[in-house]
C-alpha cells in the first residue's frame, strides 16, 4: 500500500435509524482492497432512495458490505488488490458498490467499476452507476423496451426518471412521464418526454389512454406502488410489461387479476444491491457497450441538481425527501 495514503478517512455513519439528522461525519480506518478489488479515492457519491431507506432502518446492507451508506461513486484508483487487471493506479472510474460510498475512500470490486464516460466530469460520473444500471436492467433487459414502443416512467423528475427519459428516447421509444408539478413536467419534456402528466391535477391512466387512443403503453417503470398498481394495469397495452423497482406508497396492494390475464400483462420487479458481483458486472459491461457511446456523443447526460459537501449528507437527504429536486443529488467528499 503506498505510504502517501492516509490511514484514516472521513465517512458518514448512521448513528441510529431515523431522520436525516442521524447521518453524522466520523473518522474510520481507510479500507484496503482485497483480491479483485480497487481502492478508490471518492470524488463524488450519488445520493439515492435506497440510502434513505437504509438510514431509516428498512434496507440493511448485504452481508460483508460496509455499514456506511452510498451505492455509487466516481473517483481515482489509488491502490489495487491482487488479480486486478482492467484499471491502473491513477485511472478515473465510476463504480457501483454495495455500500461505503459516503466516504473519502471506498473499496470497489474491479468488475463493477467502469471508465468515466468521455465528456463527463467526476461529479457527473458519480451520478451514473446506480441510476443508469437500474434503468438499463429493468427497462431494457427485464421489460425489453424496443424502438417504436411506448414507455411510461413515474417520478419523471427523479434521478431514475430523468435517466429513463433520456435512455428510452435515445433508443427510439415514445416516452410518457408523471411528475408532481408543472415545472417538473416541462423539464421532463425538455429531456425528451412526449407528454408529462402532472399527477396532482389529472388521472394519469385516463390521460394516457386518451393520448394513445385507448391502446395504452407497452412498458411501465413504477417506483410508487400502492394505488398506482391498479392504474398501471388499466393503462397498459396488450402484452405490456410493468416493472416495479420501489414502492413509495407501499408494497401491499389488492388487484383484479382479470385485466392482467385479458391483456396478457407481465408484472415483474427487481432490486440491484443484493445481486452478485458477476451479475452486476454484466450490467456494467452492457452500459459500457450500449450507453457510454451515447454519453460520449452528448445524446445522454446525467442531470445533477445539486451537490453537497460530505459533512452535509443530512441536508442532501432532507432535499431528497422533499422531492423538490429534478435529477440527481451528489455528495462531494
Q: What is the pLDDT of residue 249?
A: 86
Q: What is the pLDDT of residue 271?
A: 92
Element (H, E) at 319: helix 313-322
Q: Which residue in 173, 174, 141 sits closest to 289, CA to CA?
A: 141
Number of helices (H) and strands (E), helices first, in the chain? 11, 15
Q: What is the pLDDT of residue 1?
A: 44
Q: Which residue in 50, 130, 64 sits closest to 97, CA to CA?
A: 130
Model confidence at 41, pLDDT cuts 50, 70, 90, reads very high
State the DSSP code for 58.
Answer: S
CA of 330: how far to CAs of 65, 178, 218, 304, 319, in Å?
A: 21, 23, 32, 7, 11
Q: Where are the domains of the chain?
A: 8-128+273-332, 132-269
Measured between alpha carbons, how far is 222 from 233 in angstroms, rounded to an integer?
11
43-93, pLDDT tens digit by residue?
Answer: 999 999 999 999 999 999 999 899 999 999 999 999 999 999 999 999 999
Residue 7 has pLDDT above 90, yes or no: yes
83-128, pLDDT tens digit by residue?
Answer: 999 999 999 999 999 999 999 999 999 999 999 999 999 999 999 9
Mean pLDDT of 38-44: 98
| Torsion sign, CA atoms 61, 65, 67, 69 | negative
Mean pLDDT of 150-160: 97
Compute the residue count for the chain: 333
Give the pairing of strands 236-244 and 217-222. Answer: parallel
Residue 129 has pLDDT above 70, yes or no: yes
Give 138-204 as a 3 state SS string: HHHHHCCCCCCCEEEECCCCEHHHHHHHHHHHHCCCEEEEEECCHHHHHHHHHCCCCEEEECCCCCH
Does domain 8-128+273-332 fall under CATH 3.30.930.10? My reply is no
CATH of domain 132-269: 3.40.50.720
SS3 call for 258? helix
What does pLDDT average to over the chain? 96
289-319, pLDDT tens digit by residue?
Answer: 999 999 999 999 999 999 999 999 999 999 9
Amino acid at each position: 500500500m503506498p505510504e502517501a495514503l492516509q490511514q484514516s478517512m472521513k465517512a458518514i455513519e448512521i448513528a441510529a435509524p431515523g431522520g436525516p439528522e442521524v447521518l453524522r461525519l466520523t473518522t474510520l480506518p481507510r479500507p484496503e482492497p482485497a483480491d479483485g478489488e480497487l481502492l478508490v479515492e471518492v470524488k463524488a457519491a450519488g445520493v439515492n432512495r435506497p440510502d434513505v431507506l437504509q438510514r431509516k432502518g428498512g434496507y440493511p446492507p448485504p452481508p460483508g458490505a460496509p455499514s456506511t451508506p452510498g451505492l455509487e461513486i466516481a473517483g481515482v484508483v489509488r491502490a489495487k488488490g491482487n488479480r486486478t487487471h482492467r484499471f491502473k493506479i491513477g485511472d478515473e472510474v465510476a463504480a457501483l458498490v454495495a455500500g461505503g460510498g459516503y466516504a473519502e475512500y471506498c473499496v470497489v470490486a474491479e468488475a463493477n467499476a467502469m471508465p468515466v464516460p468521455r465528456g463527463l466530469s467526476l461529479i457527473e460520473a458519480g451520478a451514473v452507476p446506480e441510476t443508469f444500471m437500474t434503468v438499463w436492467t429493468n427497462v431494457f433487459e427485464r421489460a425489453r423496451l424496443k424502438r417504436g414502443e411506448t414507455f411510461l416512467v413515474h417520478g419523471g423528475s427523479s434521478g431514475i426518471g430523468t435517466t429513463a427519459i433520456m435512455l428510452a428516447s435515445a433508443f427510439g421509444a415514445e416516452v410518457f412521464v408523471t411528475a408532481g408539478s408543472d415545472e417538473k413536467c416541462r423539464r421532463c419534456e425538455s429531456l425528451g418526454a412526449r407528454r408529462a402528466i402532472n399527477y396532482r391535477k389529472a388521472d394519469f391512466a385516463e390521460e394516457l389512454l386518451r393520448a394513445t387512443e385507448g391502446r395504452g403503453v407497452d412498458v411501465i417503470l413504477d417506483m410508487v406502488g400502492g394505488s398506482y398498481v391498479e392504474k398501471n394495469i388499466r393503462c397498459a397495452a396488450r402484452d405490456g410489461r410493468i416493472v416495479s423497482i420501489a414502492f413509495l406508497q407501499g408494497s401491499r396492494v389488492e388487484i383484479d387479476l382479470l385485466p392482467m390475464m385479458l391483456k396478457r400483462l407481465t408484472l415483474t420487479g427487481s432490486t440491484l444491491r443484493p445481486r452478485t458481483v458477476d451479475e452486476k458486472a454484466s450490467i456494467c459491461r452492457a452500459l459500457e457497450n450500449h450507453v457510454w457511446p451515447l454519453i460520449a456523443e452528448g445524446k445522454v447526460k446525467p442531470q445533477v441538481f445539486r451537490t453537497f459537501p460530505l459533512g452535509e449528507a443530512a441536508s442532501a437527504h432532507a432535499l431528497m425527501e422533499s422531492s423538490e429536486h429534478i435529477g440527481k443529488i451528489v455528495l462531494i467528499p
